[in-house]
Structure 1
């Protein structure tokens, strides 16, 4: 796409600068708010190169797909001379998105409890880190391929530097999480950065120092009553999140009575000291038990012991978890598994949920004669294959109801196959968060891509078969009208 040229054409088609009140973009579309909708030439917009669809209205939405929307926004800003609004969080990709938007809003309207709020906070903490996970994960994937092609390269300085770049986000994950937690709850980011470092102090490991005579002197490990000795990273990112949140609570409380003239000197040091003591004596022991329990439930019990049944259930139930708004609670577990093992074996199983949606879309498309429904599927299908499943979920399967169920069941078969592969072929998983669909293949640890692609294809086939045979009747298409 020639972004500058398309940006100029869009500028003219929406009525020029005088008719533009503001504009922004989401993952897949440029959104232009206009004063007078009668001045917008919708048909002209639809004919532009690279435009997949247009949603008319006071906010005219020009659908261009993932990767193009941000670049088009930058080009449009140059043409219009108007500063864009911040990017919005909406990745629906069907050209006619009314049903998808209404369905998504209806689902989110029920996610109002304190538990949902907590999981939203977790999502807000990790979402800004995902681009870094993807970038470093892909770099690490290239390094792994390089090493497979030439094992001797492992001692090459350039290879080591390349692999080191791939490990930056994982290596600094605790600091990133600490900073983002402080931002999320209104604290000072640098204090959150410090909070991210407290649970990982190497002194907790009983590190060895060297005496003047050259002998080694072990340092006594830190210990707390009832729990015993501590170790660096105890509690993982859950411990970091809670510690950074406690830092923020202490900081805000101090500012209610510390005089402004003393703020810079008193508030930071008291926050760090008090928060660190709570981290060491309370947060680390408790969060260690929580993380251990979650890891046992999801990895040892559901996956290792549950095998194909566990894989089937996890893949089948993941999208219902998304609907309930609790899926973000798994993000710290993924992050901790990547930190500890270099990959999360759970993510390839859960990614089967999107493959089931792809199979469902094929089944509905072949069964229906409803032009509007088929148009929605055509717009949402390509990004569904790439791992962006929301357009198919909110625009097709959820409004139709039964296809959502058959898609989830279809995903279960792929999840069972991937779980079987983990048991038979050795542990493997995703080395980065944020990628799904076929785009997850490059970030899978060595040997895992064949099992993953096999499971993905099985999910697509079973999602298609179950939907085509049992999940769709033509009268359901009326819900899309």
Structure 2
């Protein structure tokens, strides 16, 4: 995508989210532009969804615009530049009627109508999800999300290095690739500490400093309670705990240390106190927790792989809807740090396969609904690459039953992959973030690349087929087919005949 096109996309988005003076923060993750808004009523959501590069929107603690991998990293700096330029001008008045919610009966059963239902469902869930625990999980996720691009890059290089090593090709370049792939992982604890302190209101560099203690080679000379420390013991969990402690120590110092001594005393006490607690306590505790996580994950798949895969693959989409999937990010990172890959991600990725299969079935079952079929056609390529938000929020979730049958497809794919773990063929992903077909370059494990790729591809195929079949046979009631298998005249906003849908009727998700 050219720079001009990226800037055009940013320029199209900006006025639809209230203009530069309505923006309070800008960030991006793998697929989404995340913006803070002063007034969400200024967002023109339907027009925003109509922007060609926009795959969907997600309302959470930030307003998230799904642009897809690669695109979002290019559009974000252009968007930031336009916001800075626009802030030098006075704020423009809000367009008349912008952000005004539509009346319940205003929409035909089209893609836009379903998207509106999906937005209403998201808003209801958002109120339920704003608990202290879930808000804490979001903050933990915000610590790790910025690390994902480096994890992906290093993971792909590690996979390439493995192929060259096994094939005996280019032996002179293999050590260089190993260094490039492993350098970031050897210091990931420092980045986690830095981001943790920044996220929780401390001085970021002090969080990185106390986390650096964990990876310092000299800790091997330290003995505590008759036990020897090892460099890296505790990993990212230890870094997370150490940086959180550093934030509390620093804030205590800011309250009690005289201002004239603050610049010397506060950083010194923060690093000293936290460093000692980390060396003589947190590294041992976090090391035990990390080992337990790795042992349990491997035991779970080795002993109950098919059933465990069925449960994990089937419940991942509801976990995403509830916001609880964010708790898995530190677990994935810990597994990658321990064994080089996370065995959980290929199984969880099957949820996306079930979602794609369900969407294809909706496309086939509703041949007359051109609006919804157009949405599915535009969102499917992203769905195959693991970007599921457009299909979830624009198709399956507002329809209800197809969301449940998508979970059935994910469960079947997860059971397929889990079965091979139970048979001793263990593998995983060397990075987190990508899913679907985008996960192929990141797969690694004991059975060899060919076998690993074949099992993962088989799991995707099972997820697609079962998601398609389950949706075809159980995804619609007769009334739903009657209501949905039409393409109302866009010029006629009258809703379909019949009573307005209430929560609990067929199109309301069972997981609400």
C-alpha contact (below 8 Å) 1:384/1:392 kept by paired residues = yes
C-alpha contact (below 8 Å) 2:187/2:215 kept by paired residues = no
Q: Tell me by how many angstroms 1:470 deviates.
A: 1.1
For 2:185, which of 150, 170, 173 is the aligned residue? 170
C-alpha contact (below 8 Å) 2:306/2:422 kept by paired residues = no
1:35-114 paired onto structure 2 within 5 Å: 66-71=69-74, 82=85, 97-114=115-132
Partner of 1:139: 157
Q: Tell me by how many angstroms 1:180 deviates.
A: 0.5
**1:29–1:95 Cα change, 3 Å:** farther
Cα RMSD for the two superposed structures? 3.8
| Structure 2: segments with no counterpart, 5+ residues | 38-43, 58-63, 89-110, 485-500, 502-506
Q: Deviations over 1:11-70 (max 9, x none)?
A: 69999xxx9867889746899x9xxxxxx9x99x97x9x657899xxxxx9987553455
What SS does structure 1 have at the residue aligned with 2:431? coil
C-alpha contact (below 8 Å) 1:29/1:64 kept by paired residues = yes
C-alpha contact (below 8 Å) 1:181/1:244 kept by paired residues = yes
What SS does structure 2 have at the residue aligned with 1:434? coil
What SS does structure 2 have at the residue aligned with 1:255? helix
Q: Which moved more, 1:241-250 or 1:417-426?
A: 417-426
Partners of 1:111 and 1:366 in 2: how far apart?
34
Partner of 1:151: 168
1:199 aligns with 2:203: no
Partners of 2:177 and 2:13 in 1: how far apart?
46
Partners of 2:13 and 2:66 in 1: how far apart?
15
Partner of 1:380: 379
C-alpha contact (below 8 Å) 1:413/1:459 kept by paired residues = yes
1:449 aligns with 2:453: yes
TM-score (norm 1): 0.79
Q: Deviations over 1:125-181 (max 9, x none)?
A: 000101111122222223233334x41534x1x332123212232121111101000
1:208-247 paired onto structure 2 within 5 Å: 221-224=222-225, 228-247=227-246
Q: Deviations over 1:187-242 (max 9, x none)?
A: 11121112212233434434xxxxxxxxxxxxxx51238xx544333333112101
C-alpha contact (below 8 Å) 1:357/1:393 kept by paired residues = yes
C-alpha contact (below 8 Å) 1:125/1:181 kept by paired residues = yes
Q: Tell me by how many angstroms 1:9 deviates.
A: 10
Partners of 2:68 and 2:293 in 1: how far apart?
37
Partner of 1:261: 260
Q: Which moved more, 1:329-338 or 1:122-131?
A: 329-338
Q: Tell me by how many angstroms 1:5 deviates.
A: 6.5
1:463 aligns with 2:464: no
Q: Deviations over 1:376-412 (max 9, x none)?
A: 3223222111111122222222222222221112111
| Structure 1: segments with no counterpart, 5+ residues | 34-39, 56-60, 86-93, 207-220
C-alpha contact (below 8 Å) 1:7/1:72 kept by paired residues = yes
**1:470–1:84 Cα change, 3 Å:** farther
Q: Tell me by how many angstroms 1:449 deviates.
A: 1.6
Partner of 2:278: 279
Partner of 2:314: 316
**1:386–1:201 Cα change, 3 Å:** same
Partners of 1:334 and 1:241 in 2: how far apart?
14
Partner of 2:104: none
Partners of 1:262 and 1:64 in 2: how far apart?
48
For 1:473, which of 470, 474, 477 is the aligned residue? 477
C-alpha contact (below 8 Å) 1:367/1:474 kept by paired residues = no
Aligned residues: 437
Q: Deviations over 1:86-141 (max 9, x none)?
A: xxxxxxxx888434433333323211223212211210100010111112222222
Partner of 2:340: 342
C-alpha contact (below 8 Å) 1:238/1:291 kept by paired residues = yes
Q: Which moved more, 1:129-138 or 1:435-444?
A: 129-138
Partners of 1:54 and 1:135 in 2: how far apart?
26
**1:71–1:229 Cα change, 3 Å:** closer
1:364-403 paired onto structure 2 within 5 Å: 364-368=362-366, 369-403=368-402
C-alpha contact (below 8 Å) 2:302/2:423 kept by paired residues = no
**1:5–1:235 Cα change, 3 Å:** closer
